[in-house]
Amino acid sequence: MASSSSSSSSSSLHLFPTTSNLITQTSKQRSLHLPFQHSQNTHHQNSSIHSTLRLHPAPHRRRSNVSCIAAALPSAEEEESLGPLRIAIVGFGNFGRFIAQGFRRQGHTVIATSRTDYGEYCRQHGVLFVRSVDEVCEEEPDIVVICSSILSTESVVRSIPFEKLRPETIFADVLSVKQFPRNLFLEVLPPEFGIVCTHPMFGPESGKDGWAALPFVFDRVRLAAGDARQARNCRRFLRMFEDESHNADLCLDVRCISPLAYIIATVPNDLSLSEGCRMVEMSCEEHDRHAAGSQFITHTIGRILSHLNLESTPINTKGYETLLKLTENTVSDSFDLYYGLFMYNVNATEQIENLDRAFETVKQKLFGRLHDILRKQIVDRAPTPMKEKGERKKKTNLNPSFLSHSEKIKDLSIRI
């Protein structure tokens, strides 16, 4: 389970020779085999084959100067160092299982632990499940990803026996707040450990159809100076999430007059397929400012709407359906998650106060322009108070026909 068979470390693409074939294939594994149909009986004197390997890195990234297939072959040392990453996930709840799928798609080894026994699930999905963080450390992971709840993160991190881990180990988290885990890591982790704070801005629901173009926030908080292995593992970890356009594509431009070729191109694992996220590098402080005004407010509005017991109607508008979906999504998360967004983000209290002021402002605008009396006139068609008073006075002065004029006056004086 910790290693893949040799047969699974390569993928084959069969090409039938044509005058010009342009094949663009980004290899998910280290070896890409390109076999051409070959016939010893059909060799022409003028047969020729021209193949070039072109790497197209994204702008602002290091350009790989590979001019031929042989140049892409890694040395023995590189071959060993570019094996699958060993990634430990501490906290294997909904999000832990969700993100493990991405790691496994990339061909990496995943070790998981959780309070709940997910042994059967892990056996079915190619994940090694262990029952304690001690066993996790004995597996010597390259990356330890903290996927626990915000409220339990500190106790979980402090329970890890750091002395059992290699000094180049990198700790990452996927919490919805960033300053808290960063400060915690800096406080309790050994100084040689790497720290990468991340926040995938999606989850099992929003990312169920793929992660392409979804934002992935990260902050490389600390990497040990001069530790090339740690730096490389950090780069490979982040590249798993990147937009594919940020990876160098392996392009083979093959022109064949006759079928006379068998090409084997061994591609470094750094060129593996990625999940296609939109990578956003920002500090933990900046993340928490943005998150308080976006994610926390979204959850707050959803929680408020849930108390209105909104229901679908036969005449739903698109906007109303959006509100129903928002309510459904937010209340599906535990209240502990919502409380964590509030308690562990220093900007959340200010946003609550801003929301309260905004609601009062809107309410005063409405009540200032549309009073209860005016509403009764418009909606209930009720008479105005002045009109009602005039009608009552008119009715009071009506003289009954059976009274004389003097009696009417006398009666009026008595009433006065």
Is residue 123 domain-resident? yes
pLDDT at 50: 39
Are residue 313 and residue 191 in the same domain, yes or no? no
Number of domains in the chain: 3
Are residue 168 and residue 191 in the same domain, yes or no? yes
Q: Which DSSP letter does residue 187 get? A: H
Is residue 186 domain-resident? yes
Is residue 274 domain-resident? no
Q: Where is pLDDT greater, at 383 or 270?
A: 383
Mean pLDDT taken over the chain: 77
* Token pair 């280290």 in the structure block, residue: 30
Are residue 356 and residue 388 in the same domain, yes or no? no
Are residue 89 and residue 234 in the same domain, yes or no? yes
Of 261, 108, 88, 249, the C-alpha closest to 174 is 88
Are residue 84 and residue 203 in the same domain, yes or no? yes
Are residue 316 and residue 175 in the same domain, yes or no? no
Are residue 293 and residue 336 in the same domain, yes or no? yes
* Token pair 């066993």 in the structure block, residue: 135
The first and second tokens of residue 338, run together, are 């919502």
What band does 272 get if pLDDT is binned at 50, 70 and 90? very low
Of 14, 57, 17, the C-alpha closest to 32 is 14
Are residue 107 and residue 194 in the same domain, yes or no? yes
Contacts of 66 (CB under 8 A, 6+ apart): 53, 55, 72
Q: Which residues pair with 199 in a beta bridge?
A: 217
Distance from C-alpha of 116 to C-alpha of 114, rounded to nearest angstrom: 5
Are residue 210 and residue 314 in the same domain, yes or no? no
Last residue of some domain: 213, 241, 269? Answer: 241
Per residue in 162-209, pLDDT (tens digit) is 999 999 999 999 999 999 999 999 999 999 999 999 999 999 988 999
Last residue of some domain: 189, 210, 241? Answer: 241
Is residue 397 domain-resident? yes
Cα 197 from chain centroid?
A: 13
Distance from C-alpha of 237 to C-alpha of 103, rounded to nearest angstrom: 9
* Token pair 């093959």 in the structure block, residue: 254
The first and second tokens of residue 288, run together, are 């928490």
pLDDT at 63: 34
Q: What is the pTM of this model?
A: 0.68
Per residue in 141-162, pLDDT (tens digit) is 999 999 999 999 999 999 999 9
Distance from C-alpha of 303 to C-alpha of 177, rounded to nearest angstrom: 19
> Of 118-132, 258-272, 365-379, where does the model show the most confidence?
118-132
Are residue 86 and residue 203 in the same domain, yes or no? yes
DSSP string, 275-312: ---EEEE--HHHHHHHHIIIIIHHHHHHHHHHTTT---
Are residue 305 and residue 389 in the same domain, yes or no? no
- Domain residues for the domain of 388 are 372-415
Is residue 399 domain-resident? yes
Q: At what angle do helices 179-188 and 284-291 cross, to 10 degrees?
A: 150
CATH number, domain of 94, equals 3.40.50.720
**Cβ(212)–Cβ(276) below 8 Å:** yes
What band does 140 get if pLDDT is binned at 50, 70 and 90? very high
Is residue 304 domain-resident? yes
Count CB atoms within 10 A of the CB of residue 171. Answer: 27
pLDDT at 35: 37
pLDDT at 347: 98
Contacts of 348 (CB under 8 A, 6+ apart): 292, 296, 341, 342
Is residue 61 domain-resident? no
**Cβ(160)–Cβ(133) below 8 Å:** yes
The first and second tokens of residue 222, run together, are 């600390």
Are residue 234 and residue 86 in the same domain, yes or no? yes
Is residue 122 domain-resident? yes
Q: Where is pLDDT greater, at 225 or 393?
A: 225
Sign of CA dihedral 65, 68, 73, 75: negative
Distance from C-alpha of 338 to C-alpha of 333, rounded to nearest angstrom: 8
CA angle (152 as vertex; 149, 157 as ends), nearest 5: 105
